[in-house]
Structures are given as structure tokens and as C-alpha cells.
Amino acid sequence: MIARRARPISPIVWLAAPMIAALVLSFVLALPLRIEGLALPEPVFALVPAFAWAIVRPSILPPLALFALGVALDLLWGGPLGLWETCLLAAYTLVFVSRRMLSGQEFWALWGAYAVACGGAMAVGFVLTALRAGHAPGLVGVGLQFAVTVALYPFAWKLVERYEAADTRY
């Protein structure tokens, strides 16, 4: 039986596609709609690729892509520039430095790691906002956004599962 070599996967597939998907979903959930009087949740979709890219492959492109995603989120949500760039890169850094430990872990263990990465990003956002505004953001709001973002883990797992063993190049 002839061993088939994995086909190299273009960065457009494993970097650009999740990036665009995260942006579009963030945009859709930012529409001013209410269902039965309740506003739509506002998870940080960009934390999904931030987690998955760090596990899939160390590369110089994900930090650049996360920076661009952060700028887009700041402009979309009207927040101060530099906030989400720093938060996303903080989450990426947490996963990047523990990549060897996390690589190959099972579903639930990675969910825990994803929650820690999300928590790190939210903590950085909390500190930067408190420093800038001179007033700490409410922990309830931070906790809610953290919870709905952690619930997005299955998307991150799909990305990791799909591209971890693939021949991703840049």
C-alpha cells in the first residue's frame, strides 16, 4: 500500500477562513436585535482561532492575523484601539508557551485550556480598561462575555482537529 503524503494546506484555508468567519459572526451578533426582549449575546469569536492557531502550528502569520482581527473588533465595537489586539495576543501567548503540553490532548482537557486562555484575554482587557478609564468594568459583564466565549469551544476543537495533523505551511 502506498502511503499518501498529506497535501499542503494554504494559509488562506487555515488562517484567512477562520478569521473571516470570526469577523462575520461578530458582525451578525452586533446587530441591534432582541429575541423575546433579550439582547443577543456578544461572545469574542476571535478567541477561537487565537486558541486553535497556537496549537496547530507555530508560525509568524497568526500574530499578524490576530493583530488585524483585533483592529477590526475595536473598530466594529467602537472600543479603544489596541485593546482587543492585546487581549487576543495574550490568549495566543498563553497557548503558545504551553503548546507542547497541550498538543494531542483530548477534547475536555483542551476545553479547560481554552477557558484559561479566554480568562487570560478577559483579564488583560479588564486591567487595560480599568487603567485607561480609571474605573473597573463590572465583573458581571466580564463574566457573561467570558461564559459565552468559553461556550464556543467546539468551534476551536473542530479547527484543531482538522488542521493539527495537516501540512499547514506559510
Partner 1 sequence: MSLRDGPLGEIKPPLVWLAAGALIIGILAALALFALGGARTGPFGDARRAADGLIAPAGGVLAMPVRVAAGGAGVIQDYFFAGSQNRELRGDLAAALSWRDEALTLRQENARLRALLGVRTEPPLPMVAAETVLDARGPFSNSRLANAGSVEGVTEGNPVLSEHGLVGRIVGVGAHVSRIMLLSDVDSRTPVMIARTNGRAILTGDGGSEPELAYLRTHDALQVGDRVLTSGDGGVVPRGLPVGAATKGLDGTWRVALDSDAEPIDFVRVLLFKDFVQVASPTELTPSQMPNTATDAPETPAPASVPLAAKANPTKPPPPGTARP
Choose between 12 and 28: whose C-beta lies nearer to partner 1. 28
- Exposure string (b/e) for 111-125, b if CB count within 10 Å is 16 or more? bebbbbbbbbbbebb
Among 12, 16, 20, 33, which residue interacts with partner 1 (rule: CB under 8 A)?
A: 33
Q: Site for partner 1 (CB under 8 A): which residue of 81, 101, 151, 165?
A: 81
Shortest gap between Cβ of 140 and partner 1 (angstroms)? 5
- 133's grid cell: 478609564
Cβ atoms within 10 Å, residue 17: 14
Give dist(CA 159, CA 145) in Å, integer: 22
Q: Does 141 bind partner 1 (CB under 8 A)?
A: yes
Cell 478609564 identifies what position?
A: 133
Q: How big is the site for partner 1, counted in residues (CB under 8 A)? A: 52
CB 69 within 8 A of CB 53: no
Q: Choose between 107 and 169: whose C-beta lies nearer to partner 1.
A: 169
The sign one gets for the Cα dihedral 162, 73, 71, 110 is negative
Smallest Cα–Cα separation from 124: which of 89, 152, 77? 89
- Of 158 and 169, the one with the shorter C-beta distance to partner 1 is 169
Residue from the set 16, 20, 39, 109 that interacts with partner 1 by CB under 8 A: 39
- Binding stretches for partner 1 (CB under 8 A): 27-28, 30-34, 39, 42, 44, 58-64, 66-67, 70-71, 75-83, 85-86, 89-90, 92-93, 96, 125-126, 128-129, 132-133, 135-138, 140-142, 144-145
